[in-house]
Structure 1
Amino acid sequence: MKILVTGATGLVGKELTALLLENGNEIHYLTTSQSKIESKPNYQGFFWNPEKSSIDENCLIGVEAIVHLAGATVSKRWTTSYKQEIIESRTLSSNLLYSCLKNHPNEVKQIVSSSAIGIYPDSLTQVYTEDNKSVDDSFLGQVVVKWEESVDVFSRLNIKVCKLRTGLVLAKKGGALTEMLKPIKIGLGSPFGSGKQVQSWIHVEDLAYMYLFAIQNQWEGTYNAVAPNPVTNTALTKTIAKKLGKSLFMPNIPKFAMKLVLGEMHQLLFSSQNVSATKAEKNGFQFRYREITKAIDDLLT
């Protein structure tokens, strides 16, 4: 199958692209950087610029499925201008893809788009399934709403829409784990706030497989892309420290301190979302990394 991937050079995109190629698929990918355009067997890059509504429509030739991962990282200080970039990088790219599909003959039957569990309200007690309709009143909650709305319109073109609401992605190179390791390695690691906030995580390998599985099984609708066993921030911090052979003797890091350092972005560290993976499992997906200890063992070995 020929698959078009946006965000192919990012953390998840690289993992997914390798997996898709291993499974005999042909990749077209969109990039905003001319220098990242490659032309290899089964791997072809195309230029686009969502801000200027510019796209090489040849990217659609022969494509049956789209994986939409493009979006500016949220792990960067949220200035007013950067907040706008976070939203527009998601909505403008979706809008451009939609226009391209609407105006050019194509064979696309499905789009599988990244989304985020940040849509769910901060709670220490609630367990969230995909049926939950409440939205967190934070900036991230609003981002996800606009993000998903920009993808839902593809259904007007008789294209199946699948959204994977992704949790904390754990990977060897880049992402949250890399940042969490830094203070722990030098003996300054400790949980954030009460440490009781629930973090719904997923191993990057499982996330890539879920995208592949969603395509192979023509998933439609919303799915939580999280491992079946969420952990508290304290448990996650302790698991990492134990694997590294480090002790945790520092007091918990107070919220006000991180707010001074990170501004509004500190919410990423203190919000609690206990998110259910039951729907994905009931629909046949099998996680390789169900427990945090197994995931950390793999990533830090």
Structure 2
Amino acid sequence: MSRKVLITGATGLIGSEIVRQCHAAGIAVNYLTTSREKIENTENYKGFYWNPQKGEIDFQAFDGATAIINLVGATISERWTKKYKKIILESRLESINLLRDTLLKIDHNIVHFISASGISIYPNSKTKLYTEENEEVDDTFLGEVVVAWEAAAAQFKNMGMEVSKVRTGVVLAKNDGALPKLVKPIKLGVGAPLGSGEQWISWIHLEDIAGIYLFLLTNQLEGKYNAVAPNPVQNKKMTKMIASKLDSPLWMPNIPDFAIKLLLGEMSVLVLEGQLVSSQKVEKLGYPFKYYNLENALQDLL
């Protein structure tokens, strides 16, 4: 089991929770950051500078680490202009390629590469349950991004490492990510299901997504893993459950597809489409979900 891990994206939403859980499990963390202001240096948490765009990286970041958790990637929830789509894709590939090129150059002890990925690789469907065995790929921009991202991660296999790809669902957290965006209109009394409301949301609580990374790390498991809770819900059900928790009545009709497309453009697929995704693989291997149902996740977060 790894006693020190190198994390990219350690100061982000998921990264910060993984760091917290690593420390609780006695695992030290080295992390790479593009911001010199975010460099800390304590016994079990050491920061190192890198700039993937310029190909700059501090080799000392790899000292003592036996695994890498790679979380870097520009947010997909900013408007997808042609320029920004390029940033979404390149931010993921440049960072992975710099890690690969560096490891080919230096002496290191890395045996396990764990990379973030997304369930948006699966096509939009209201009826099909997707497992890691499904080969179909969504024909949207996000499908294309995930394919390129996973292919870049797969290169580490050729370097003799175990490779894990964590296909992340909709992460629910108190102050960041999708949940505050869903809560805000409901609190203001203007909440409503989006589009048909029948699109699936394969969600996961922040503590469980970080828990899955730690589970893969400590058990050195390779392969593709859906990081979603066991009980996905449809958009209309999630909206109703949030409203009921907040004691805020829903009185508006569903917000029509065309209005959302007008507002969000191509990125409207993020809210109008969804996938029903299975968590059985990671459950069968023994990962104990802390938040199994949306009910207890919302109880914790709201």
Residue 78 of structure 1 aligns with which residue?
80
Inter-partner Cα distance in structure 2 for 1:172 and 1:292: 14
Segments of 4+ moved more than 4 angstroms: none
Quick one: which of 259, 264, 267 aligns to 2:266?
264
Residue 273 of structure 1 aligns with which residue?
275
State the shift of 1:41 in Å: 2.0
**TM alignment of 1:20-99, pairs within 5 A:** 20-99=22-101
Inter-partner Cα distance in structure 1 for 2:85 and 2:186: 30
Inter-partner Cα distance in structure 2 for 1:283 and 1:270: 32
The Cα offsets for residues 248-291 of structure 1, whole Å up to 9 and x where unpaired, read as: 11010111111111111111001120000000011111101110
Inter-partner Cα distance in structure 2 for 1:115 and 1:219: 16
Query: Which amino acid is 2:59 matched to?
Result: E
State which drifts further: 225-234 or 259-268. Answer: 259-268
State the shift of 1:156 in Å: 0.9
Inter-partner Cα distance in structure 1 for 2:23 and 2:81: 38
Q: SS state of the match for residue 114, structure 1?
A: strand
State which drifts further: 252-261 or 218-227. Answer: 252-261
Residue 124 of structure 2 aligns with which residue?
122
Residue 199 of structure 1 aligns with which residue?
201
Query: Which amino acid is 1:2 matched to?
Result: K
Quick one: which of 157, 160, 165 aligns to 2:159?
157
Unpaired segments ≥5 residues, structure 2: none
RMSD over equivalenced CA pairs, Å: 0.6
Inter-partner Cα distance in structure 1 for 2:126 and 2:52: 38
1:297 aligns with 2:299: yes
Unpaired segments ≥5 residues, structure 1: none
The Cα offsets for residues 103-138 of structure 1, whole Å up to 9 and x where unpaired, read as: 100000101111000000001111000000010000
The Cα offsets for residues 24-56 of structure 1, whole Å up to 9 and x where unpaired, read as: 111100001111111112110001111111111
Q: SS state of the match for residue 181, structure 1?
A: helix
Inter-partner Cα distance in structure 1 for 2:67 and 2:145: 24
TM-score, length basis structure 2: 0.98
Query: Which amino acid is 1:105 matched to?
Result: D
Residue 251 of structure 1 aligns with which residue?
253
Query: Which amino acid is 1:58 matched to?
Result: Q
Count of residues paired in the alignment: 300
Residue 107 of structure 2 aligns with which residue?
105
Residue 220 of structure 2 aligns with which residue?
218
Quick one: which of 99, 116, 131 aligns to 2:133?
131
State the shift of 1:222 in Å: 0.1
The Cα offsets for residues 54-77 of structure 1, whole Å up to 9 and x where unpaired, read as: 111110111101110010000110
Query: Which amino acid is 1:134 matched to?
Result: E
Query: Which amino acid is 1:40 matched to?
Result: T
Residue 288 of structure 2 aligns with which residue?
286
The percentage of aligned residue pairs carrying the same residue is 52
**TM alignment of 1:5-24, pairs within 5 A:** 5-24=7-26
